[in-house]
Amino acid sequence: MRKLLTVVGARPQFIKASALSRALADPRWGIAESVLHTGQHHDDAMSEVFFRELGMAPPAHRLHLQDGGVAERMGQMISGIAAVVERERPGAILVYGDTDSTWAGAWVAARMNLPLAHVEAGLRSFDRAMPEEVNRVLTDHVARWLFCPTDEAVRNLKQEGIVAGVHRTGDLQWDTARWMATAQGDSTEGSDAVLLTLHRPSNVDEPVRLRAWLEGIAALGQRVIFPVHPRTAAVCKRVWGGEWQAELNALGFELEPPMGYAELIRTLQRVRTVITDSGGLQKEAYGFAKPCIVARPVTEWTELVSAGAVHLCGEPDALQAAWAWAEEAVPPATGLYGTGEAAVEVAQTLSLAAW
């Protein structure tokens, strides 16, 4: 059995990793996977609940990051991953997406001369001001196997001169969304409510901007289900004080703690529209035929824009126009992200490769 070290650290990565871990458990692939959790997302609502709900075994390795700046935490992740590699001697490292955990794992693979697999390779927002864009570009350029969720991702890599080791597999997050919907009873019947998520630093770290977003959304006059990310909750408290929850309730928000994945998929199926700055939720909204307003000026899922599945809304004062689009939107045909078998394709590719 060849040993594969998978590095995860944030909520979207747990969702994708669960699909591949289920596939790799099949002994025919001859791969023994070990999961390392960097601790980038570490509380129960953002981390542990996902391992329980998605049927994943607890991570074999956990890092315990100390408080500090971005560079300090990145250094802790790199040194922690390197220590596990030295002790466990895996044959390859696999990373997901575009977080700091992704680049930390990629850096270790490159410096320790280990082949790297990047799931969700080739995505580009073309905005280098976003830390995620820098992470995904750097990771792609040191990876041996690049597993692309879409044709557009393959084209992006080709434009950067990357053609070797590129595989168009479909999207592992869609694998898990389909699996979860089936497990709990697939239903697209719902209400006229809006599902809102906001967590990106560019939207929530500045109190004036976060207030503009939330007041603009409230002005739409809709019932809004709002699971509040811990980062967002901290800034809400700065804006509205200790009574911030009551203040937002008065504006029409139905506040929820961060949702587990089962609850998120159940809620998504039962709402009319989504407003989000999350990359993953854009895809899930598309998969379940829900119009999606993206609270960002760009998206790495550019094919969703081309398909008319999402509407980019980079500023709060553009919300009324975005809502007018959502009211008239006709959900496009699904199928951009595969048929739910991406994880099997990744597992088979790794099984046949030399490493």
**Euclidean distance between CA atoms 56 and 3, whole angstroms:** 18
CB 214 within 8 A of CB 253: yes
pLDDT recorded at residue 48: 66
Q: Looking at the predicted structure, is the pLDDT value of residue 45 above 70? A: no
Q: pTM for the complete prediction?
A: 0.83
Q: 120: which residues sit within 8 A by CB, 6+ positions away?
A: 16, 96, 97, 98, 136, 147, 148, 149, 153, 171, 172
- Domains, the chain: 2-171+338-352 (3.40.50.2000), 185-328 (3.40.50.2000)
**Residue 12 confidence class, pLDDT cut points 50, 70, 90:** confident
pLDDT recorded at residue 2: 98
| Radius of gyration from C-alpha coordinates of the chain | 20
pLDDT recorded at residue 138: 98
CB 9 within 8 A of CB 37: yes
**Euclidean distance between CA atoms 166 and 204, whole angstroms:** 35
pLDDT recorded at residue 183: 80
User: What is the rounded average pLDDT of the residues 144-158?
Assistant: 96
**Sign of dihedral through CA atoms 113, 117, 123, 125?**
negative
pLDDT recorded at residue 41: 61
pLDDT recorded at residue 11: 81
Q: Looking at the predicted structure, is the pLDDT value of residue 44 above 70? A: no
CB 273 within 8 A of CB 190: no
* pLDDT tens figures, 77-126: 999 999 999 999 999 999 999 999 999 999 999 999 999 999 999 999 99
**Residue 273 confidence class, pLDDT cut points 50, 70, 90:** very high
pLDDT recorded at residue 146: 98
% of the chain residues with pLDDT over 70:
95
Place of tokens 């630093």: 201
Q: Which of 285, 195, 264 is nearest to 49 (CA)?
A: 264
pLDDT recorded at residue 332: 83
Q: Which residues are catalytic?
A: 199
Q: Looking at the predicted structure, is the pLDDT value of residue 212 above 90? A: yes
Tokens of 11: 């909520």
**Euclidean distance between CA atoms 232 and 203, whole angstroms:** 9
